[in-house]
Structure 1
Amino acid sequence: MAEIIPFPVRPVVPETAPAHPAPPELAPLWREAVGDVLRTARHERGDRLSDTARRSGVSPQYLSEMERGLKDPSSEMLAAVAGALDLTLHDLTRAVSERLAPASTGAVLRVA
């Protein structure tokens, strides 16, 4: 029989806690990094949540949940919100990748 390997469970963070105080042993999730990038871009533009939501065609509640990393939006939703922020999907993906990239240690990860 196969060995069962436990998967680490993320602790539930109350709404009033800082955005993403993930313990160092847990890597941030893609949706959290996407939300951080979207929120940063929106703030840099000086937009309110409702402004970006209206331009992208999503509800302010859904956009808020995207920014907080609570939703796994479809590619269509990401394209709509990115477009409303004058970003391309390439810009968004690159910014998210940079946030998720570990600090360069010179180590190489090999997958068999």
Structure 2
Amino acid sequence: MASSIPQPASVSPLRPAIDRTALKPSPAREPLWREVLGECLRGLRQQRGEKLSETAGRAGVSPQYLSEMERGVKEPSSEMIAAVAGALDVTLVDLTLAVAETLRSAQPSASRGAVCSAAYALAA
């Protein structure tokens, strides 16, 4: 006959107890490369006054895919990044440098919705 292990009365088997005294506020996380890339792409596209469908059509990607890239939820291949960069009339090198500069200057307290200002210099 199998014996069961008794559970303390305050702990649900579906939701274990958490020591709330050990919890600390989580520090602001560093933005991911794909998130900053997306901010740069969106900033460049909006600076040109283009719709997603216009830029996506020239890049050979669907508007949905470009939207996912801009929102930082898609991990695009280098070929996709190059296609979108070309559609926005920037080189892959310049776009990569803009993303790297933005990451370098990102402060832990910076908001996630910050615009990739280095990308604006590319289009100027």
TM-score, length basis structure 1: 0.69
Q: Does 1:95 align with 2:98?
A: yes
One-letter code of the match for 2:60? Answer: G
Could you tell me how far apart the structure 2 residues matched to 1:61 and 1:46 are? Answer: 18
SS in 2 for 1:94: helix
Could you tell me how far apart the structure 2 residues matched to 1:36 and 1:103 are? Answer: 13
SS in 2 for 1:101: helix
Query: Which structure shows the higher helix fraction?
Result: 2
Could you tell me how far apart the structure 2 residues matched to 1:50 and 1:38 are? Answer: 14
The corresponding residue for 1:53 is: 56
Could you tell me how far apart the structure 1 residues matched to 2:85 and 2:30 are? Answer: 24
Identity rate of aligned residues, in percent?
Answer: 66
- Where structure 2 has 5 or more consecutive residues not aligned to the other structure, the ranges are 1-25, 108-124
Q: What number of residue pairs does the alignment pair up?
A: 82
Q: Which has the higher contact order (CA 8 A, sep 6+)?
A: 2
The corresponding residue for 2:8 is: none
Could you tell me how far apart the structure 2 residues matched to 1:56 and 1:31 are? Answer: 18
One-letter code of the match for 2:95? Answer: L
Write the mapping of 1:37-76 to structure 2, written as runs, cut at 5 A: 37-76=40-79
Change (3 A) 1:88 1:24: farther
Give me the CA root mean square deviation. Answer: 1.6
- Where structure 1 has 5 or more consecutive residues not aligned to the other structure, the ranges are 1-22, 105-112
Could you tell me how far apart the structure 1 residues matched to 2:72 and 2:32 are? Answer: 8
SS in 2 for 1:38: helix
Runs of 4 or more above 2 Å deviation: none
One-letter code of the match for 1:30? Answer: W
In the TM superposition, residue 24 of structure 1 has moved relative to its aligned partner by 5.4
Q: Deviations over 1:27-67 (max 9, x none)?
A: 00000000000000001111110000000000000000000
The corresponding residue for 1:77 is: 80
Change (3 A) 1:98 1:54: same
